[in-house]
Amino acid sequence: MSNNIIQKEFLIGYGNVKKVKIGKFNPLVFIGGPCAIESEKHSLVMALRIKKICEKLNIKFIFKSCFNKDSRSSPESFNGIGLDEGLSILQKVRNKIKVPVVSDFSDVAWAKPTGEVVDLLQIPAYLCRQTSILKAAAKTKKPLLLKKGQFMSPWNMKNSVRKLEFYGSNKILLTDRGTFFVCYIYCI
């Protein structure tokens, strides 16, 4: 990968969902949904409501929700409903609402089963440099959504992209969550 911006275009979606063309000069795509999967009913209601809003606004939509929020700050916080139930719910969203879905994973062993369900596989911000996670994600052969960690400068994302490319991935989307500034304490 060079320092030049490389613009690619590819489809997100497989099977009977409405595929979304992303990249190059295509319109922006809304990737959203509840942070954590709470229940099947909640996920289906949210996916349908967001889909209708996006259709009204003529915006392409990919439903995002996660089965395990491993990065919670408190051990008492809700972490999610778990791998098996979460993937089952995401599959139902795909089948009933007919939209592509994305979820992340925080354990190498979860990459393969997650990749078998989702249309787009997300690498969490706090794991965006972990070689084992990046390798497991690339092995799924799914398009990948790589979230930049707040602790990283934007230009350092090239190292994570290089790892993904090294392990065979060529459909990579980057997303920015912002940058952590050490001077924050002094700025307020």
Which sign, positive or negative, has the C-alpha torsion 89, 92, 94, 98? negative
Domains, the chain: 9-187 (3.20.20.70)
Q: What does the pLDDT read at residue 183?
A: 44
The confidence band for 66, taking pLDDT boundaries of 50, 70 and 90, is very high
How many Å apart are CA 137 and CA 167, to the nearest integer? 9
How many Å apart are CA 21 and CA 68, to the nearest integer? 28
Tokens encoding 84: 């098996």
- Convert the pLDDT of each residue in 8-59 to its tens digit: 889 999 999 999 999 888 999 999 999 899 999 999 999 999 999 999 999 9
| Confidence (pTM) | 0.88
Lowest mean pLDDT among 13-27, 76-90, 145-159: 145-159
